[in-house]
């Protein structure tokens, strides 16, 4: 019995298996890039949160009085005091570093809470809006 064309069929099946494997690797690479992008946003959010906390520690009396407090989606009130320039610079840096970046500051009973929010719709998380929150005593 002669089996002509059988080798060609084996080669085609091997190429199909290889193509499926390469597509799987490409999918893994894309997922890895998404996760890396989301991790970079979380890192940036943490850096900005600790940055404003450092600024608040330098202006501790004003910070403990709650003058740094601001809600998410609020614009920084205009002014030339250190607290005003710190808040404005912080909100501007959030908007520049994170997609739809925004933040909130709240001080109560000696504890300051910093919340940084951003749009992570391109990331791997299920929620579009992600938040990083840190609380500390000044």
Domain residue spans of the chain: 6-137
Could you report the per-residue pLDDT of 45-102, keeping only the tens digit for each? 999 999 999 999 999 999 999 999 999 988 888 888 999 999 999 999 999 999 999 9
Flag whether pLDDT at 124 surpasses 60: no
At 133, which helix (H) or strand (E)? strand 129-137
Spatial contact of 94 and 108, defined as CB atoms under 8 Å apart = no
């Amino acid at each position: 019995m002669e089996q002509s064309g059988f080798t060609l069929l084996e080669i085609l099946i091997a190429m199909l298996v290889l193509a499926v494997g390469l597509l799987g690797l490409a999918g893994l690479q894309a997922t890895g890039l998404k996760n890396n992008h989301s991790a970079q946003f979380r890192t940036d959010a943490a850096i900005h949160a600790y940055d404003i906390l450092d600024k608040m520690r330098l202006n501790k009396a004003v910070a403990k009085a709650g003058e740094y407090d601001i809600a998410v989606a609020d614009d920084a009130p205009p002014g030339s005091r250190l607290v005003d320039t710190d808040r404005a610079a912080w909100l501007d840096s959030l908007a520049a570093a994170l997609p739809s970046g925004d933040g909130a500051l709240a001080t109560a009973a000696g504890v300051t809470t910093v919340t940084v929010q951003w749009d992570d719709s391109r990331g791997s998380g299920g929620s579009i809006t992600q938040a990083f929150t840190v609380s500390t005593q000044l």
